[in-house]
A and B are shown apart, each in its own frame.
Chain A
Amino acid sequence: MAVTLSERAAKHVSNFIGKRGKGVGIRLGVRTSGCSGMAYKLEFADEALEEDLVFESHGVKVLVDPKSLPYLDGTELDFVREGLNEGFQFNNPNVKDACGCGESFNV
C-alpha cells in the first residue's frame, strides 16, 4: 500500500511549503461528493493526526487518512503543465471512470 509523488510534484510541493512558511507535508484524501461519486482532497498539512498513514516520497511527507487509502492506493500525484495552466494531477489506478473534468471519479 502506498501513495507517491512524482519527482516533479515533490519539488513543487516542497517549494510551496517553503514559501508558505509552515507545514509538515501534504494531505491526500477522497470525499464522497462531486458529479461522479468521489472527489479528491489536496491540502497542506500542518500536523499529522494519530490515525494518519504517512508516506515519504522524494523527501516530502504524504499524509493519507485510513478511510481514503483504499481509493488512493497506488496513486501517484504528478505536477503537469498544460499551456498556461499548471497544477497537480492524480494518476490513480483504482479509477474506473471519471467525470470529464477529472475532479471527481468512481472506483
Chain B
Amino acid sequence: MALLQISEPGMSTQPHQHRLAVGIDLGTTNSLVATVRNSIAVCLNDESGTAMLPSVVRYLADGSVEVGARAQAAQTRDPRNTIVSVKRFMGRGVADVAHVESMPYDFVDAPGMVRLRTVQGTKSPVEISAEILGSLRKRAEASLGGPLAGAVITVPAYFDDAQRQATKDAAELAGLTILRLLNEPTAAAIAYGLENASEGVYAVYDLGGGTFDISILRLSRGVFEVLSTNGDASLGGDDFDQRLYCWVIDRSHIAPPCDEDVRRLLMKAREAKEVLSRYDEAPIVARLSSGEQVDLTISRAEFDEITRPLVSKTLAPVRKALRDAGLRAEDIKGVVMVGGATRMPQVQRAVGEYFGQEPLTNLDPDKVVALGAAMQANVLAGNRSVEHDWLLLDVIPLSLGLETMGGLVEKVIARNSTIPVARGQEFTTFKDGQTAMAFHVLQGERELVSDCRSLARFELRGIPPMVAGAARIRVTFQVDADGLLSVSARELSSGVEANVIVKPSYGLSDQEVAEMLKSGFEHASEDMQRRALREQQVEAERLLEATAQALATDGDLLDEAARAAIDAAVAALSQAVGAGTLAEVKKTLDALSRATGNFAALRMDKGIRSALTGQKIDQLEV
C-alpha cells in the first residue's frame, strides 16, 4: 500500500507516476541521501535513525560486502579489505594518490585508474563507490516505497573530467539514473534557498574531515555561476584532532604510544573537540594499554590557541579564490558554512571576521549538501512547477585547447568558463595538398604542449587536397552540464567530420590542478617569450618551405647574384631557426622575405603572362 505525500498545489501526480528523486552527497568520509517530501528536503535515515553512512566498504571472504558503520568497525581488524576514503582514488592513477606508502591497500596500477586487490579480487574505485551508492539507493527505495526515477550526485567543484566520469560510472553501476552531477558548493547554496535570495555573490566555506574547499558563486536572475574555487586537499577537521592529540602528548609526558593508544587518544581528542563546540572546557581522560593514565582538561581558549594556524591556513585559499574572481571580501553578500568542522566556534568567528558578517550556520553543515542536491533532483524530476525552475551554471577548472604547429597550445575554452559551453574555432592546413589533420586536445594554462595535460588525440581524414591555408576546418569544443568534453572537427567545403568524446585519461590530482594553475601564473612572461619564438619558428619554416618550392619551379627566373643572395638568406634563417634567439629568427626571417621580394614579383609576372597567353582581351573577366 503506497503512502502518499502532500504535493504543491496543482502538482498532484498521477497514480503510479511518482517521480521519486534523491540527492546524494557522496563524501570522502561520509555519504548521505536526501529527498524532498511534503515539499521539504529531508535526509533519509537508516534503520537505526542515522543519516550519515560512513563511506567505508569491506569485502569479506564469503563473497558478501559490508558498507558503512559495520565496515568501519572492521577497519583495524581487516585493513586490506576495508576501503576508506575511496573518493580520493576516483579517476586517479596510482602515481596521483598521495601517501600511497602509508595506506594499507594492495594497489594494482591498472591503466587509467588505480585498482585495489581484495579478498574478492581486484576492485576499481568505481566499483567500490558503487557499493556505497547502492546502499544509499536501497535505503532510499525502502524509505520512499518505490524505485527511484533519478538521482543528483554532488562532486567537488574542482573535480576534473576523469573524476566526474568515474562518479557517473559508479552511479550507473549502482543502478541509479543520474539526473545531473552537481557541484557541492552550489548544492549548499541551494539548500539555503539562496536562489530565492537577492542577487549577489556568495562564498561557500567547506571544511570537511580531510579537505577544505572555498567556492565563490554568483547568483543572478535565479542562476548560479561558480566564479572561482580554491582549497587545500589535505586540511580538515582531522588536523584539528591531530593538533589536540599532539597537545595531549606534550602535556601528559607519556612515552611514545603504540598504534592502539594513538587511535584511542585521537578518538578522545575528537570527542573533546566536539565538546568544545558547546562548552568552555573539555576533559580528556584515557587509560593507555601501557598502564599510563591521561587526565587533562583543555579550555576553549587553549584549543583556539593551538589550532589558530590551521584556521588561518584556510584563509589563504579564501583570499586566492576572491582574487581569482576579481572580488574583495566586502563584495560577498553571504557566506555558507559546510562540513562538520565548521561547527567549531573559532572557525565561525574567523570566517565571520574575514568577511565582516555572520556566516549562515542554521542548517546542519553535515547535511546541507545532500539537502541541496535533493532539491535540485526534485526540480529535474519535474516535481516542481516551472515558474520555480532554476538553472545551474558551473565552471571548468582548467582551460581546454588544441595543439597547433610548433607545439603551441591554442586555448579554445578558457578556464572558469561556465558550463554547459560550446566554442568553435577555425583552423587550416599547413602544407599544400594536406589531406589529414591530427588533433591533440589539451588541458592546462601553459603555452607549450609539453607543459599541459594531454586529454585525447584524433584525426580528421579525407580533407580534399588544397593549397596550404585554403582548407577551413572548424573545431568545436563542447562541455556538457556534467563537465564532460566532446570535440569535433569538420572540414567546411567537403563536410568530412571526426570527433572524440573525451573520456579523459585518468590521473590528475587536486594538487596537480593547483600546480598547473600556479605554474601558469608563474611562467606567464617566460611562456610569452617562448610562444613568440615558436610562432616565429613556425613562420620561418613556412617561408623556407615556400622558398624552396618556388626555387624548384621558377629558379630559372633568377640571375646568379640574386640566386646567391636568396641562398645565403635561406642558410642564415635555417641556422637561426635551429638554434637562434627570438631576435635572430626575426632578423633573418625579415632578411629572407626582403631577399625574396623581387623573386616573388618575377614569379607573379610570369604567372600573369602565362594566364594571359592565348587569351583574347574580350574573353578576360576583369
Q: How far does the alpha carbon of A86 sit from the alpha carbon of B142 in the complex, in Å? A: 10
Most A-side CB within 10 Å, residue of B6, B46, B143, B144: B6
Q: Which of B7-15, B433-441, B450-458 lies at the interface with chain A?
A: B7-15
Cβ contacts under 8 Å, B145 to chain A: 82, 85, 87
Q: Could you tell me the distance in whole angstroms from the C-beta of B577 to the nearest C-beta in chain A?
A: 71
B5 within 8 A of A: yes
**A34, B12: Cβ atoms closer than 8 Å:** no
Question: A101 with B139: in contact, given A16-B39, A87-B5 (CB under 8 Å)?
Answer: no
**B143, A85: Cβ atoms closer than 8 Å:** yes
Cβ contacts under 8 Å, A16 to chain B: 6, 38-40
A52 within 8 A of B: no
B2 within 8 A of A: yes
**B6, A33: Cβ atoms closer than 8 Å:** no
B4 within 8 A of A: yes
Q: How far does the alpha carbon of A88 sit from the alpha carbon of B11 in the complex, in Å? A: 16
Q: Number of contacts between A and B (CB, 8 Å)?
A: 90
Cβ contacts under 8 Å, B47 to chain A: 83-84
Question: A20 with B7: in contact, given A43-B12, A85-B144, A103-B2 (CB under 8 Å)?
Answer: no
Name the CB-closest residue of A to B143: A84
Q: Which residues in chain A, 40-62, are within 8 Å of chain B measured between CB atoms? A: 40-46
Majority DSSP secondary structure for residues of B touching A: loop
Majority DSSP secondary structure for residues of A touching B: strand
Q: Which residues in chain A, 53-97, are within 8 Å of chain B measured between CB atoms? A: 80, 82-90
**A85, B15: Cβ atoms closer than 8 Å:** no
Chain B 127-155, CB within 8 Å of chain A: the 1/0 string? 00000000000010011110000000000
**B12, A90: Cβ atoms closer than 8 Å:** no
Cβ contacts under 8 Å, B11 to chain A: 43
Name the CB-closest residue of A to B10: A43
**A84, B1: Cβ atoms closer than 8 Å:** no
Q: How far does the alpha carbon of A86 sit from the alpha carbon of B44 in the complex, in Å? A: 11
Residues of A that sit less than 8 Å from B by CB = 12-13, 16, 19-20, 26-27, 31, 33-35, 39-46, 80, 82-90, 99, 101-104
> What are 11 A-B residue pairs whose CB atoms fall within 8 Å in the complex?
A16-B38, A33-B15, A34-B14, A42-B5, A43-B9, A87-B2, A87-B3, A87-B4, A87-B145, A88-B4, A103-B16
Residues of B that sit less than 8 Å from A by CB = 1-12, 14-16, 37-40, 44-47, 139, 142-145
Extra A-B contacts (7), CB below 8 Å, given A16-B38, A87-B145: A19-B40, A33-B15, A83-B142, A99-B15, A101-B2, A103-B16, A104-B15
